[in-house]
Amino acid sequence: MYSKNDVAKRPPMGWNSYDYYNTMVTEEDVKRNADFMAEHLKMYGWEYVVVDIQWSDPAAGSLCPQVQYVPFTRLCTDEYSRQIPDPVRFPSSKDGKGFAPLAEYCHKKGLKFGIHIMRGIPRQCCHDHAKILGTDVTADQIANPFSVCKWNGDMYGIDCTKKDAHKYYDSVFALYAQWGVDFVKVDDICNTNFYKENPYSAEKEIEMIAAAIEKSGRPMVLSLSPGPAVIEKAWHMEKYANMWRITDDFWDDWRLLKAMFERCEVWQKHVGNGNWPDCDMIPVGKLGYGWNKVSRKTNFTPDEEITMFTLWSIFRSPLILGTELPELDERTLSIIQNEEVLALNASSHGACQVMRNERQTVWASCGEGCPAKGMDVFIALFNLSDEDGEVAVNLSDVPYLNGSGTYRVRDLWNRRDMFPVEGDAELSLSVNKHGAVLLKLSRK
């Protein structure tokens, strides 16, 4: 029996095309990044290759995206109102093959394949009165014309009160199952408060999509964007999705990274069992090639990158790289190939914020089976200030340590053993500004 929680037993790890290519990614680009992942990252758990927005748009990249989206784009669709890949950018999709050949390319390398979609049905299909597979209704008859994304005008929302409305999503995800899709990122749907005036626009569409995935017979990770998701709807996200954005688009800006600590604190009790609050893609390496074809290096300093990976890992956010993988430097590769840190993301639990002020914050979690005696405890020390300095925590305040006793200490980023420490002592270490130290404490 299908269970959505079995699809993502650990936080998904992979690559998404958006941060580097914006709307312009091609089949060749996807294969190049898949090749790199298969050769250099797969053995560390990185597996999803995700094609982001506008893959069905034949005009993608010819204009600035803000111009493309007004009022809406003529997308490539089939006779049943379903988007299909632009055959110019994805030549293997011709003759009705869709993304099946590209998905198979990834599968043969031991990887998984994913795509991005906007919530709803293409507006062009509604204006053309296009068919819906297996029904006698047309696209315009199931659409909500008052439900249009605020930043991309290509789609109308689906009105779940209309006859056979759910059958559109059923047909879409049946097609994705035929293609071999493993991961679907649905946009304009995560923060259901965007559409208070249209109560059927987003929340009910999440439910229709989840049901359509189950009916398709193919397990697919359901990722919802953008955020911030509202904590009051945590129960709904946990019931129907695998991952959901807790932030708006995250980019390489220290202010956004610093703000993420508060977001993670809000969501820390809703992590695990196939449910993964999502801190968004990881903007490292080179970014922003996009429609202007000019890339740049991430604005994050090396210490800020360590802080980002440390928080994402101990909180157990999905790890989705947004960059051109073959252009990663050796330093960044050493970060994303650190199996000790990735194991923390994959199998720890109970992550919580121990303390936070303007200068520092401390997080803790524990290994599988914790807090039973003998299990590992992980502690992350973050320097939030603009100066190097000490970050301190009284270990008696750290959950899972069980009070007194002697612990071995290992620095996971530097892969070295440190001094032993007593479980009721104060732990104080020097941490670079905007940097982090990630420790594993094991009972001696």
For residue 263, give every residue at least 6 positions away whose Cβ sits within 8 Å of its Cβ, in sequence order, or none. 228, 246, 247, 279
Is pLDDT at 124 greater than 90 in this prediction? yes
| Half-sphere CA count of 65, side-chain side, radius 13 A | 16
- Between CA 414 and CA 168 the distance in angstroms is 51
CB 321 within 8 A of CB 16: yes
CATH architecture of the region 4-347:
Alpha-Beta Barrel (3.20)
Q: State the pLDDT at residue 68.
A: 47
Is pLDDT at 374 greater than 80 in this prediction? no
Q: What is the pTM of this model?
A: 0.95
Closest CA to 54 of 80, 12, 88, 28: 88
Q: Using 50, 70 and 90 to split pLDDT, how confident is the model at 290?
A: confident
- Per residue in 333-342, pLDDT (tens digit) is 999 999 999 9
CB 190 within 8 A of CB 227: yes
Mean pLDDT value across residues 179-186: 98
Tell me the torsion sign for CA atoms 198, 202, 203, 208: positive
Residue with tokens 């330093």: 331
Domain boundaries in the chain?
A: 4-347, 352-443
- Between CA 399 and CA 351 the distance in angstroms is 9
Helix (H, G, I), strand (E, B) or coil at 100: helix
Q: Based on C-alpha coordinates, what's the Rg of the chain?
A: 23
Domains 4-347 and 352-443 fall in the same CATH topology: no
- Per residue in 34-47, pLDDT (tens digit) is 999 999 999 999 99
- Between CA 356 and CA 265 the distance in angstroms is 10
- Between CA 224 and CA 221 the distance in angstroms is 10
Give DSSP secondary structure letters for 137-177.
-BHHHHEETT---SS-TTEEEE-TTSTTHHHHHHHHHHHHH
Q: Write down the CATH superfamily of domain 352-443.
A: Golgi alpha-mannosidase II (2.60.40.1180)
